[in-house]
Chains A and B, each alone.
Chain A
Amino acid sequence: MASNPGLTLLRKSASDEAPPAVLPGDDGVAKLIDVSKCIGCKACQAACLEWNERHEEVGFNVGSYENPHDLTAESWTLMRFAEWDNPETGNLEWLIRKDGCMHCADPGCLKACPSPGAIVQYANGIVDFVSEHCIGCGYCIKGCPFNIPRLSPVEQVVHKCTLCSDRVAVGGGPACAKACPTHAISFGSKAEMKTLAGQRIADLKSRGFEQAGLYDPAGVGGTHVMYVLHHADKPEIYSGLPANPHISRLVGVWKGAAKVAGLAAIGAAVVGAFVHHLLAGASVVSKEDEQKATHLAEGAD
């Protein structure tokens, strides 16, 4: 699908077009996932598949509620179930986190992408993959700090959650939020979502979850999908949510210094060769060389 004409583009992969002016103070839209309200029903997964017309294969049970077993090129969101033995209370806590694209303000996928316009970031913060420009190289998978994009073995393009950019473009919210029966998923402006999260966190704290907090990691410039966590001091216990996600330094080297230094070195070598030829002139075999060779060969005969 093409990039959405209903949304203003902020950034495009592999291109340095100047971004449009964004209203100051407008930090776009956000999805807030309240982990403490989630009951793990997977209505969001079903709604995502249905709206985006994806078809997950029938799986098999290996003793986990997770189904499928990982994000796939079809399932762009996945309930991850973790059992955590709380050492302070002795309670076994069932932590269910809806995994999927975090829509980073500083998207590693977009930085890694070599194909102009295959990954776009809209002014409202949504990071979207544009399949018609995707070449299926998988660089975005290496760029992502959350291990989200999945290469489709059928289409040979990479997919992930679009934050229902097509629905948002016409004033709707994401299909998952619409389907959630407990209002664990909310959608609105990022400012509204932060206010809502603040209320939820205050409520959780009043009920004994002293470390309740908002997951909006600064390492990637904040995200447009945020979590309310009851144990925000330990995000890893939620099926490996990274505590301090950031774009790998290797991706920075690869897409920054290496690109410039690599082309500069190649350019310098070509220029150096030209200059050498200008100064040194061609290395030419003389008649004398030929005569000496003939002499040597005849001496052998």
Chain B
Amino acid sequence: MSAASLHKAPSGEAVVVDRYTGLARANHWVTAISLILLALSGMALFHPALFFLTALFGGGQFTRIIHPWIGVVLFFSFAGLFIRFWRANLWEREDNVWLASPGAVLSGHEERLPEIGRYNAGQKLVFWGMTLLILVLFVSGLTIWDTYFFAYTSIETKRAVVVLHAAAAVCAILIWIAHVYAAIWVRGTVRAMTRGSVTGGWAWRHHRKWLREEVAKGRADGG
């Protein structure tokens, strides 16, 4: 892949860099869709004002039936993303600088930040935050999946776990909002999710260290 990761756009001069394979994108789409469905069905059962959302899933009973199964899909789908991307999300020294400069980050002044690899500190926090929360949501979700697992824990345990599940879900939704907003705010990002590639300029501006690595890889492969 690395040899072909940089190529000229068919229209002309601009460079295009491959960022995600088709399988990685499919994996991400399954995760994204499950997370949205889980948020909608979960919120429906979280607040009576949102109970009307159960209509999207065929009523209250069906919402209750399907929510945990979507959770199972999300868990395994996210596990796939984890295996793909955990290495690229290991913490680097420049991540501390990035994190310590919220002004530069939020105003888009990336010239004031160090050159960033494949992921910046914010993306890594999304990754590790979601990893932790999805693990908590999965285990707590099994605990309160009364249809199959009622007998395995006490009611006292379930009372605490149901609060934990709700709190973790709210945190996951907050991270998801940040994740989606960042992808919208930073123009040129969403095509990585849809087409799998980004422009050279996008990589230069936001992930220059990664771009240099890709260029170097291309050179090493004689590309």
Which residues in A have some Cβ–Cβ distance to B below 8 Å? 14-16, 114-116, 118, 133-139, 141-142, 147, 151, 153, 156, 248, 250-251, 253-254, 258-259, 261-263, 265-266, 269-270, 273, 276-277, 280-287, 289-294, 296-297, 299-301
Contact = CB atoms under 8 A, between A and B. Distances in A.
A114 B51 contact: yes
8 contacts: A151-B146, A153-B147, A156-B65, A254-B163, A266-B173, A273-B177, A282-B187, A285-B188
B199 A266 contact: no
Given A15-B48, A142-B159, A290-B14, A297 B185 contact: no
A248 B155 CA distance: 11
A289 B61 contact: no
Contact of B162 (A254, A297, A301): A254
Contact of A285 (B156, B170, B199): B199
A292 B159 CA distance: 57
A137 B59 CA distance: 13
Nearest to B217: A300
Interface stretch (B22-30, B70-78, B88-96, B200-208): B200-208
B124 to A, nearest CB: 18
A251 B46 contact: no
With most chain A CB atoms within 10 A of its CB, the pick from B17, B107, B167, B200 is B200
Contacts of A286: 201, 205
Nearest to B144: A138
Interface in B77-111: 106-108
Interface string B169-194: 01001100110010011111000000
Contact of B203 (A156, A270, A293): A293
Nearest to A147: B155
A114 B45 contact: yes
Contact of B13 (A156, A254, A283, A294): A294
B185 A290 contact: no
B48 A14 contact: yes
B174 A265 contact: yes
B77 to A, nearest CB: 23
A282 B185 contact: yes
Nearest to B108: A283
Contact of A258 (B106, B166, B188, B204): B166
Contacts, number: 165
A283 B46 CA distance: 35
B51 to A, nearest CB: 6
B6 interface: yes
B51 A284 contact: no
Contacts of B223: 300-301
B61 A135 contact: yes
Contacts of A297: 6, 15, 200, 215, 218
B195 interface: no
Nearest to A144: B155
A16 B163 CA distance: 22
A293 B200 contact: yes
Contacts of B61: 135-136, 156
B60 A115 contact: yes
Contacts of B166: 254, 258, 262
Nearest to A259: B47
B219 interface: yes
A294 B146 contact: no
Contacts of B65: 156
B177 A296 contact: no
Given A156-B147, A254-B159, A285-B187, 13 more contacts: A14-B48, A114-B45, A115-B60, A137-B64, A138-B144, A141-B158, A258-B167, A262-B167, A265-B170, A292-B201, A296-B200, A297-B15, A297-B200
Contacts of B59: 135
A283 to B, nearest CB: 4
B174 A292 contact: no
Contact of A266 (B162, B170, B218): B170
Given A114-B45, A114-B48, A280-B108, A290 B200 contact: yes
B51 A14 contact: yes
Contact of B60 (A135, A138, A299): A135
